A and B are shown apart, each in its own frame.
Chain A
C-alpha cells in the first residue's frame, strides 16, 4: 500500500488492537486523527477515537485510559508535545503504559511547520519534571512508522512505561510503500493493577504518582531507576550500514539517516570510507556500540536537523577517544547530501 507516514501510524494503530486514540490537531501530523476518524475504527475493532479540547486534555485522557489497563495513544507535533509534558511526567511517575507520537517540527516556540529533529533532548532526557525516561523509537521510513506502533505498545506494557515514537514532518508527510500486519483483536483482559472497579476479593487499585512520605517516595524513584537500567540492558536497537570497512562514521537517525545514505555513496565515490550508525532507540541510546567503533574509525559526524543534540550522547559514548562533531540545519531546513559530505571533510577529516 502507498501511504503517508502519518496515515501508516494510524492504520497500524487500528491493526495493533489499540483501544483508544485521543488527540488534538496540529501540523504536520493531523493526518493521524483524520485517517482514524475516516477509517471507522469503531466499526472495525471497537477502537475509540476522540478529538480532545487540547493536548493537555488528550494526554490526560491517555492517563485515564492507561490507568484502566487500556492500550491508548496520542500523536502531536513539537508545540503540542510541550503541552503534554506535565501529563507524560505523571504517566511515567504512575508507571502507566501508553504511546505518544511526536512528528517533530522546527522550534523553538511556534517555530515552523517544516520537519526538524530539535526535540531530541525533550524526548530522551526527560522533558517534564522529575527523574524519568521515555523509551524513544526513531523510525526512518513509512514502514517503520507502521511497525513501531505495535513494538511501542509491547515495550510500554512490558515495562509499564510511556513510549514515544520520535519522527519528523518529512517522514510523517512522505509517501512510501508499506505492508501491514494482520488485524489483531483488542484485548479485553485487564492487567491486575488496572483501575476497573474493585471486586470484593481484592484491595483497591490506586494509580497515583504522589507519595508524601519522602523515604517511600525515594524507594519509588529507586524502583523506577532500576527499571530504566533493565531497559538499557535489554532494549537498545540500532542499525549499521557499511560500517565494516569504515574509517569514518555518520551517526544519524530518522530523516537525517536517510540523507546520510546518499552522502555515504557520494563520499565513497571519492574514496572516503564512511559508514552509518543509525540509533533506532534514542533512549536507551546505543552508547556501547558507538564506543566500540572508536577502535576502528578516525572520527564521527553526528548529523541532525538541530543545533546538535544527539551529538552530546555520541561524545559521551566516545569519551574523547576519536574526533566527534555535529552537522545540522535548523528551522525546518533539510540538509543536502553534498553539504553533509563537505561537513565531514571540513569538520572531521580535515579538522
Chain B
C-alpha cells in the first residue's frame, strides 16, 4: 500500500514542472473553446511574471473579443475606446517612461478604426509593446468582415466571400508598420502548436525586454483563428488558418534589431 502513487505526496516544490502564472487570476475566460486569445493572455502573463515586472506594467485593453482582458490579468489596466489603445499607451508611457506599457488589440481595432493611432504611435517610435491578434474577422460583433479578411473569405457581411473589387484588399498592416522608422522590432507569430507557442512567447519576451532599450515600438502580430466566426470546429479552424491565413500572412520576423540580424 505504501508504495502506491496515491499514498505519496507528489505535490511538492521539487516536483513542480508547470504551474499557472500568478499574473492571471482564476476568472473563467469567456473566449470560445479553441480561440487563441487565452493562450496569448497566458503568454503575456508568463513573460511579465518571468521578468518580475508585474508592479511596473500598465496594459491597455481594446474593444473586441478581448475587451474584458482586464478581468483575467493581475495587472493595472485601462480599457480604451475602439482603436485608441496606442493613444492611451502613448499618454501613459510619455508620462511614466520608466514603466512597461503594452497594448492588446484585434484586427478591427488596430487595423481599421484605429489605423491612424497605430501608424502614428509606431511612427513616433513610442517605446511600447503592441500585441496584435489577427483572426481576419470581427469576432465580438458576430463575424463581420475585418480589414484583414482574406480575398474570397466568407463573413457575415461578405456572405458570398470578400470581393476585392468591391470591398478592397486585405491589409497587411504589420508589413506596413515595419516600414516605419519608429518600429524597432516587428514579428508575426501564431499559437496553434506547442512549438509556435514557445516561439511566440520568445517574441513577446523580446518585445517587452526592448522597452528597457528605449529604441522604439515593438510590434507582435499573432495570426489566430476564430472558429465561431469562421463557423468551423477548433481543429478545422486551425487547419484552415495554416492553409489559408499563413500563405497571405507568413509567420516570422519582419523587422529585427540590427545586432540580431
Contacts and interface: CB of A to CB of B under 8 A. Distances in A.
Contacts of B57: 197-198
Interface string A45-72: 0001010111011101111111110101
B73 to A, nearest CB: 7
Contacts, number: 131
Nearest to B82: A86
A64 B60 contact: yes
Nearest to A19: B95
Interface string B145-175: 0000000000000000000000000000000
Interface residues of B, number: 35
Contacts of B89: 64
Given A53-B117, A60-B117, A198 B76 contact: yes
Given A20-B94, A22-B91, 5 more contacts: A52-B87, A54-B116, A61-B88, A61-B91, A206-B70
B69 to A, nearest CB: 10
A197 B56 contact: yes
Contact of A63 (B61, B80, B96, B120): B80
A207 B90 CA distance: 16
Nearest to B59: A195
B214 interface: no
Interface in B73-110: 73-81, 84, 87-92, 94-96, 99-100
A215 interface: no
A57 B119 CA distance: 12
A35 B120 CA distance: 23
Contact of A204 (B60, B76, B92): B76
A134 to B, nearest CB: 17
Contacts of B68: 210, 212
Interface in A51-98: 52-54, 56-58, 60-68, 70, 72, 86-87, 90, 94
Given A60-B117, A196-B96, A198-B55, A206 B77 contact: yes
A67 B81 contact: no
Given A48-B94, A65-B95, A204 B78 contact: no
Interface in A134-159: none
8 contacts: A50-B94, A56-B84, A56-B117, A60-B81, A60-B117, A61-B94, A198-B76, A212-B68
Interface of B: 54-58, 60-61, 67-68, 70, 73-81, 84, 87-92, 94-96, 99-100, 116-117, 119-120
A52 to B, nearest CB: 7
Nearest to B119: A53
A198 B74 contact: yes
A204 B77 CA distance: 7
A80 B79 CA distance: 23
B116 A56 contact: yes
A197 B76 CA distance: 5
Contact of A64 (B55, B61, B87, B116): B87
Contacts of A200: 54-55
A263 B240 CA distance: 76
A196 B58 contact: yes
A205 interface: yes
A20 B95 contact: yes
Contacts of A65: 91-92, 94-95
Given A57-B116, A196-B58, A210-B67, A68 B79 contact: no
A22 B84 CA distance: 14
Q: Which of A64, A68, A199: most chain B CB closer than 10 A?
A: A64
Contacts of A195: 58, 76-78, 92
Contacts of B70: 204, 206, 208
B96 A53 contact: no
Contacts of B84: 56-57, 60, 63, 87
A209 interface: yes
Contacts of A212: 68
Interface string A189-233: 000000111111000111111101000000000000000000000
B31 to A, nearest CB: 15
B87 A197 contact: no
